[in-house]
A and B are shown apart, each in its own frame.
Chain A
Amino acid sequence: MQFDTTQLIPVLPEITLLTLACLVLVVDLFIRESQRIVSYGITQVGLILTAAVTLAVSQPGAQILFDGSYIRDPMSDLLKLGILVISFLAFLYAKDYLRDRGLFKGEFYTLGLFAVLGMMIMTSANSFLTIYLGLELLALCLYALVAFNRDSPQGAEAAMKYFVLGALASGMLLYGISMIYGVTGTLRFDELAQVVDKGDMNQLVMVFGIVFLVIGLAFKLGAVPFHMWVPDVYHGAPTAVTLFLGSAPKIAAFALAMRLLVDGLGDLHGGWEGWQGMLIILAVLSMAIGNLIAIAQTNIKRMLAYSTISHVGFILLGILAGTKEGYTAAMFYALVYALMSAGGFGVVIALSRKGFEAENLDDLKGLNQRNPWFAGMMLLLMFSMAGVPPTVGFFAKLFVLDAVVSVSLTWLAVVGVFFSIIGAFYYIRVVKLMYFDEPVDETPLTMGVDTQVALSLNGLAMLVLGLFPAGLFSLCQRAIGG
């Protein structure tokens, strides 16, 4: 095989990010505690730089490189940009929090950047091996980040749980991959699709393979009944880490599902024999359990964890429709959800301060009296999560429902909206706490100007994208190629 340096151009974003991650690693060794802001600066500049490079190398059409193990296509470009923007926001919101708690260390940024790298590799994987590589890189960084506050027993417990269950899920995924490899003889998704198209393979082993694959995927997505780790990890991790963990990786998980199920096994989609049936079960259960259990939560991080589960159910609805419209809708949903989630945790972080963790729903009480502007932002975020127009969350749900109805699964749309009603309750309960209750804690919110600006933009984005959803949607459409 000949090596051609032009092959490196499409991977420039990953190369840039890797270089900068190593730079942070090295620079951080040589700077004093008080100069830690330098590591943060390099990280953020690095993310922007990587986003710029991603834009620069993007072009219509797909490029398959490195013997078919890597792909750069419009979908990977858009998802990478999403991941980078959301990670940028997450690191920005996290800064003050980390500094107040003595967690402002270079390792956070090194691990964070490697996690972002893992996500980017996942989005661009074209073979089982690459995707597994990216997934594990992401997962290992996240395990360490969850335990980042090493003096916190909850953090350690959460990290252990996450690690054990995550390893189990990876095992399942690998097992499924090995079965599929066994019957088809290929690891590349494009070749796999051809084999599946011809149909000459052992159906039984293939079905088992897909089952294990879907289980592994469901673990990573946090879909019911493989969701047990989500609330514990969200709760136990430092809020700054939960913020990161709960936002950008959702986009990567969507990419994982798209690459594995659609690129590789797209032809096996239909009915109860293919993966559509399994996803229907996962989606319905996720929406049901996620929304119902979220009602009972008093801890806001746990509540948002269950809310994630229910949103994952909606993303799955879009994927299982199995049409270009469905994938576009799911992609729109994943991007919008990551943005909402980042904003939601951003407000939770903003409520915390030195020596005080905002964890319980009661900490939101009377926010409108303490700080009407950010109460307004949280209001927009919550109504967006509940899917009330004119916020963008409504359009995300609308597009998914549209896709589901278009493939004659109207009953599934009815189930979806039914559980959104239940979901609406706990989101508006947050609004109730902020607006209708008296504050328990009168301390004014202290935030840096950068956080204030970013959080305001994040909240207003819910409204602006809701009034003009066409732009982002047509980007998603172009990315999917519809």
Chain B
Amino acid sequence: MIAEWPILSLTVWIPIIGGFMVLASGDRESNATKWTALIIAVLTFIVSLPLWFAFDSSTSAMQFVERVPWIPSFDVEYYMGVDGISMPLIILTTFITPLVVIAGWEVIKYRPSQYMAAFLIMEGVMVGVFSALDAMLFYVYWEAMLIPMFLIIGVWGGPNRVYATIKFFLYTFFGSVFMLVALIYMYFQAGSFDILGYHTLKLDLTEQILIFIAFLLAFAVKVPMWPVHTWLPDAHVEAPTGGSVILAAIMLKIGGYGFLRFSLPITPDASHTLDWLIIGMSLIAVVYIGFVALIQQDMKKLIAYSSIAHMGFVTLGFFIVFIISQNNAGSGAALGVEGGMVQMVSHGFISAALFLCVGVLYDRLHSREIKDYGGVINTMPVFGAFMVFFAMANAGLPGTSGFVGEFMVILASFRADFWYAFLAATTLIIGAAYTLWMVKRVVFGDVTNEGVAALQDMNQREYIVLGTLAAAVLLLGLWPAPLVEVMDASVNNLLQHIAVSKL
């Protein structure tokens, strides 16, 4: 029964309309505004829960489908639905947003209503990206996402925010417009903008390669993959804490999701032909960017680079499937894709938590430089424990969610090629090195300066946010089975689909 309600539309439009209400309410009663924002965010989360509970994981078909004409003369439809790949990402989005609203509670002094509204509107739009099944609808959501993020970084960001936000906007805009041309091109081949229709569209290899490259530009910038990653450290460093959290936890996932929804099924032969390129770029991200992270002086920059390295795992997991199926290694292919998906969700929790940890410190001392801290554990023991826990998760400690995804991808890459696995596994060392070294310098040791000596431990608000995330990280680490089961049918369907050449 619940499946007949327009749950996806509600999840998209409650936060968007709520966001405009918050915007309209202004800043005179800023407490009321904040509470409204929080209620809307929590309500959206509750509304989105049936997507998980009423989800039928035995089928790969789209569920909760809504389909009405939007621009009839162009065959553009308001067509949304979810499968096992998109549903966990939607839940991730609605889960993280309330935490972001809470995290910005007292910190944001300048026009809090606009701040909260931007996050709520962005939440709705991001859910839209994950649930759109019409290519134009997808593109509209995809681009609309840029506007609130552009403002969030630019208005509430750090000193160099203007440079960072314009770079962010232009990089992503650059990536996506070529995707637009590809989508229009396929419209004339397929006769509609239906994404599932694109999946079965026959395309020759040249067309596929050009379309693949157009998609690659869009998604590689978003993920971001080496060498188009340079906007991310700038954007992260300058963004306010909430902006960094959304950026790392959800926006990056949209690139990964794009590979699964568009690149692989629409252009399987081009993906196969060019898989060496993606694998190469992913391994460079894992190894080289890992070393880059090691030398960072700025905590946020370090986590940003660590995000790029972790997202390298995701794309690696997605694109080794061709080699695995050539080697006839059975279920290994599914392991790679599912590992990538688990990694995305887990990285959503962990990176969000780490950025929030940095936010906690930044709110107190207004510095993100590692050298300005030292011995934080002496004055903030509870916070120190959380930070160490999340750092361990980031380094892939078994028992945390960080371990599951990485382990699955490394296992899958063994079935593809020993050296891929070898290079990927170096992250266990490099990742541990940069994360734990940072923790050592920031959290442990003697109190280095007066600022640290005067630190207050976390307040209740921060405790709730980090505690929730810690629970999520542990739960996913100890019991990843539900997540894997939910996506299993969809992933296997995808793999069967891409195993058949379109030529």
User: Which A residues form the contact surface with B (CB < 8 A)?
Assistant: 368, 372, 379, 383, 388-390, 394-395, 398-399, 401-402, 405-406, 410, 413-414, 417-418, 420-421, 424-425, 428-429, 431-432, 435-436, 469-470, 473-474, 477
Contact = CB atoms under 8 A, between A and B. Distances in A.
Contacts of B174: 421
Interface in B84-138: 111, 114, 136
13 contacts: A379-B147, A388-B173, A405-B184, A405-B187, A413-B184, A417-B177, A417-B178, A424-B169, A424-B170, A424-B173, A431-B151, A435-B151, A436-B162
B358 interface: no
A232 B465 CA distance: 57
A410 B169 contact: no
B188 A425 contact: no
A372 B162 contact: no
A405 B154 CA distance: 36
Contacts of A410: 181, 185
A273 B141 CA distance: 42
B496 interface: no
Contacts of A372: 111, 114
A399 B74 contact: yes
A470 B73 contact: yes
Contacts of A421: 170, 173-174, 177
A466 to B, nearest CB: 8
B253 interface: no
A435 B72 contact: no
Contact of A390 (B74, B114, B140, B169): B140
A436 B143 CA distance: 21
Contacts of B144: 388-390
A431 B150 CA distance: 10
B377 interface: no
A272 B110 CA distance: 57
Interface string B51-91: 00000000000000000011111100000000000000000
B161 interface: yes
Contacts of A405: 181, 184-185, 187-188
A353 B136 CA distance: 42
Contact of B154 (A406, A424, A435, A477): A435
Given A410-B181, A425-B170, A473-B73, A432 B140 contact: no
B226 to A, nearest CB: 22
B203 to A, nearest CB: 14
Given A388-B147, A390-B140, A473-B71, 5 more contacts: A379-B147, A389-B141, A401-B181, A417-B180, A474-B72
Contacts of B136: 398
A389 B184 contact: no
B102 to A, nearest CB: 24
Nearest to A383: B147
Contact of B181 (A368, A379, A383, A414): A414
A325 B114 CA distance: 40
Question: What 6 A-B pairs come out closest when comparing CB atoms?
Answer: A417-B177, A389-B140, A436-B154, A470-B71, A389-B143, A405-B184
B166 A417 contact: no
A395 B71 CA distance: 10
Contacts of A424: 169-170, 173
A159 to B, nearest CB: 37
B146 interface: yes
B177 A420 contact: yes
B420 interface: no
B171 to A, nearest CB: 10
Contact of A394 (B140, B178, B187): B140
B155 interface: yes
A450 to B, nearest CB: 22
B252 to A, nearest CB: 20
Nearest to B146: A388
A324 B161 CA distance: 46
Contacts of A436: 154-155, 161-162, 165
A413 B177 CA distance: 10
A392 to B, nearest CB: 11
Contact of B187 (A390, A402, A435, A474): A402
Contacts of A473: 71, 73-74
A421 B172 CA distance: 10
A389 B155 CA distance: 21
Given A401-B184, A435-B155, A469 B177 contact: no
A244 to B, nearest CB: 30
B205 to A, nearest CB: 17
Nearest to A420: B177
A87 to B, nearest CB: 28
B414 interface: no
Interface in B141-161: 141, 143-144, 146-147, 150-151, 154-155, 161
A398 B188 contact: no
A155 B161 CA distance: 39
B291 interface: no
Contact of A398 (B147, B173, B180): B180
B288 interface: no
Contacts of A469: 71
A470 B71 CA distance: 5
A425 B147 contact: no
B184 A398 contact: yes
